[in-house]
């Protein structure tokens, strides 16, 4: 039979060979985290309140009468912080997305998964909304375990039905808010106030969204972070020994010994050998109370090191600090730190890796801001009408017919005037565009007449100026079809 020391060594070697949420039979191991408390939890509550307030008020916040955020995939209209983007601005969205992704990578390299614990919608809704409702209705972790093990009676049915009814109600509210970000608050109000038969598609979307959110927060929970979220999977290639994470200070904490073992040794009621320790072993500050494990919503033991399941919610920090206060030990046995800071006592933030990511991020950010600044308020396309040839006019003049399409990316109507800048010629309106509405596009036709001496062959390049009053919005080029030199 293996000694206690051998068993402890085996445990340390095999501590990452299974998930906390899966038992030996491969079935779901339901996590019952103890309700956290402490300074970090209070700070997270403040952050959560601010983020939830922003989320629920976002669809109703406007900038100059325009939505703060609108991601209308159906109509391909996007408004981000009051700036409208269209499919023609795909390159801007691409640069913006690349910049954001690289920012996330850089942030993770330096600060670990701080986003997951403090700002991720999954964590905010799960830990700060649904979990707190569960504590309110069913009680803390121990009470929830007792409730689930007891036979079905009126009290159990009442609590379970109440909890899931509230869960679905909140999920329905969340789905409405997400839908408002997609279709806009005005269309959402129409779906809510009009008869359901007039908005079958919208109502179906609400029900589907509500079912998804209810399933995620009532049943899937931490499994989303384990198996669904791509960010959690990527962190293993982004973190290094200088990344700041929620860390257990094993230098200070090991070797672990419970309060009972320490008491027996101090009062000479047992020896180190009796307790399974070696003669030269020295105890650290960790008393093996498992409070850090009991409060973890992912079910992991932070003392086993950085793990993919950890979302850095800081519940273990608060639990450990509370225990350290009780045994007159300094706080920070579990804290924000890095592997190198704990092992070598050195914290290095600016590494070659961080510098490289920062340089690339600066280039992308500069490119994105430059493209965004130079983006015109309108986007005009002028093409010669397909399937037509040039027309010969009296006085050695020739004409081509053109189609024009103008897209207005602003929130105000823009009056337009098209001027032929090069070469000298005449524009004849055939239903020409005179204005374009806010966030809209319009089309028209016009004719261009050139004298023979302005032609440069069968193809002559035309330069048009698109004006709004005296302000030039953009320059557009097109081709003019004329007779070849042999025909002239």
SS3 66: strand
Task: Write the CB contacts of 123 (distance below 8 Å, at least 6 apart in sequence).
Answer: 116, 117, 311, 313
* pLDDT tens per residue, range 109-157: 777 788 888 989 999 999 999 999 999 999 999 999 999 999 999 999 9
For 266-298, give the DSSP string.
Answer: HTTSS-TTTTT--TT----S-----HHHHT-TT
Nearest-angstrom CA–CA distance, 199 and 440: 24
Q: Residue written as tokens 């060594």?
A: 9
Q: What is the mean pLDDT of the chain?
A: 83
Rounded mean pLDDT, 281-296: 86
> Which range has the worst mean pLDDT, 72-81, 170-179, 212-221?
72-81
Residue 5: pLDDT band by 50, 70, 90 thresholds? very low
* pLDDT tens per residue, range 446-470: 998 888 888 887 888 899 988 888 8
User: Is pLDDT larger for residue 72 or for residue 488?
Assistant: 72
For 316-344, give the DSSP string.
Answer: HHHHHHHHHHHTT--S-SEEEE-HHHHHH
pTM for this model (two decimals): 0.76
What sign does the dihedral 354-355-361-362 (CA atoms) show?
positive
* pLDDT tens per residue, range 87-116: 777 777 777 888 888 888 777 877 778 888
* Residue 357 reports pLDDT greater than 90: no
Residue 386: pLDDT band by 50, 70, 90 thresholds? confident
Task: Enter the tokens of residue 408.
Answer: 């207005």
Distances (CA, A) of 304 to 4, 81, 151, 287: 18, 43, 37, 15
Residue 7: pLDDT band by 50, 70, 90 thresholds? very low
Per-residue model confidence (pLDDT) at position 52: 94
Is 457:484 a contact under the CB 8 Å cutoff? yes
Rounded mean pLDDT, 313-342: 91
User: Is pLDDT larger for residue 164 or for residue 306?
Assistant: 164
Rounded mean pLDDT, 62-67: 74
Which of 194, 168, 237, 223 shows the shortest CA–CA distance to 28? 223
Nearest-angstrom CA–CA distance, 473 and 153: 73
Best-predicted range by mean pLDDT (6-20, 259-273, 425-439):
425-439
Residue 17: exposure state from Cβ atoms within 10 A (0-12, 13-18, ≥19): exposed
> Which range has the worst mean pLDDT, 224-228, 272-276, 353-357?
272-276
Per-residue model confidence (pLDDT) at position 271: 63
Nearest-angstrom CA–CA distance, 434 and 303: 70
In the 8-state DSSP scheme, what is residue 221? T
Q: Give the percent of the chain with pLDDT over 70.
A: 90
Rounded mean pLDDT, 39-68: 88
Which of 310, 283, 316 shows the shortest CA–CA distance to 298? 310
Task: Write the CB contacts of 407 (distance below 8 Å, at least 6 apart in sequence).
Answer: 86, 88, 378, 379, 380, 436, 440, 441
Rg (CA), the chain: 33
Which of 107, 162, 108 shows the shortest CA–CA distance to 133? 162
Q: Give the percent of the chain with pLDDT over 90.
A: 25
Pairing of strands 245-248, 414-415: unpaired
User: Is pLDDT larger for residue 298 or for residue 355?
Assistant: 298
């Amino acid at each position: 039979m293996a000694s206690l020391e051998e068993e402890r060594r085996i445990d340390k070697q095999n501590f990452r060979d299974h998930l906390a949420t899966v038992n030996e039979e491969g079935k779901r191991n339901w996590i019952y985290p103890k309700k956290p408390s402490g300074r970090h939890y209070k700070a997270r509550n403040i952050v959560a309140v601010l983020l939830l307030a922003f989320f629920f008020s976002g669809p109703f916040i406007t900038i100059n009468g325009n939505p703060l955020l609108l991601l209308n995939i159906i109509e391909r209209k996007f408004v981000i912080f009051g700036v409208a983007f269209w499919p023609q601005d795909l390159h801007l969205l691409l640069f913006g997305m690349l910049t954001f992704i690289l920012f996330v990578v850089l942030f993770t390299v330096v600060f670990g998964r701080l986003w997951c614990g403090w700002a991720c919608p999954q964590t905010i809704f799960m830990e700060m909304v649904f979990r707190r409702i569960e504590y309110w209705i069913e009680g803390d972790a121990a009470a929830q375990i007792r409730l689930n093990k007891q036979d079905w009676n009126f009290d159990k049915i009442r609590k379970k039905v109440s909890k899931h009814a509230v869960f679905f109600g909140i999920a329905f509210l969340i789905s409405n808010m997400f839908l408002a970000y997609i279709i806009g608050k005005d269309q959402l109000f129409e779906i809510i106030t009009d008869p359901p038969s007039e908005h079958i598609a919208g109502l179906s979307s609400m029900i589907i969204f509500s079912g998804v959110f209810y399933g995620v927060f009532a049943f899937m929970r931490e499994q989303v972070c384990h198996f669904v979220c791509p960010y959690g999977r990527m962190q293993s290639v982004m973190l290094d020994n200088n990344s700041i994470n929620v860390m257990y200070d094993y230098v200070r904490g090991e070797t672990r010994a419970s309060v009972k073992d320490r008491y027996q040794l101090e009062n000479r009621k047992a020896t180190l050998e009796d307790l399974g320790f070696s003669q030269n072993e020295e105890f650290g500050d960790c008393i093996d109370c498992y409070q850090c494990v009991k409060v973890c919503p992912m079910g992991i033991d932070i003392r086993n090191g950085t793990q993919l399941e950890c979302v850095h919610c800081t519940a273990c920090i608060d639990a450990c600090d509370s225990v350290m206060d009780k045994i007159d030990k300094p706080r920070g046995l579990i804290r924000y730190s890095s592997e190198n800071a704990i092992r070598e006592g050195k914290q290095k933030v600016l590494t070659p890796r961080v510098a490289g990511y920062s340089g690339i991020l600066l280039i992308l950010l500069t490119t994105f801001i430059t493209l965004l600044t130079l983006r015109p308020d309108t986007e005009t396309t002028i093409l010669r009408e397909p399937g037509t040839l040039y027309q010969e006019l009296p006085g050695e003049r020739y004409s081509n017919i053109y189609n024009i399409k103008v897209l207005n990316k602003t929130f105000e109507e823009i009056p337009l005037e098209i001027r032929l800048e090069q070469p000298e010629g005449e524009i004849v309106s055939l239903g020409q565009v005179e204005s374009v509405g806010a966030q809209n596009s319009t089309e028209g036709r016009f004719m261009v007449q050139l004298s023979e001496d302005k032609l440069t062959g069968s193809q002559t390049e035309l330069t048009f100026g698109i004006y709004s009053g005296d302000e030039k919005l953009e320059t557009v080029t097109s081709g003019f079809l004329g007779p070849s030199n042999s025909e002239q």
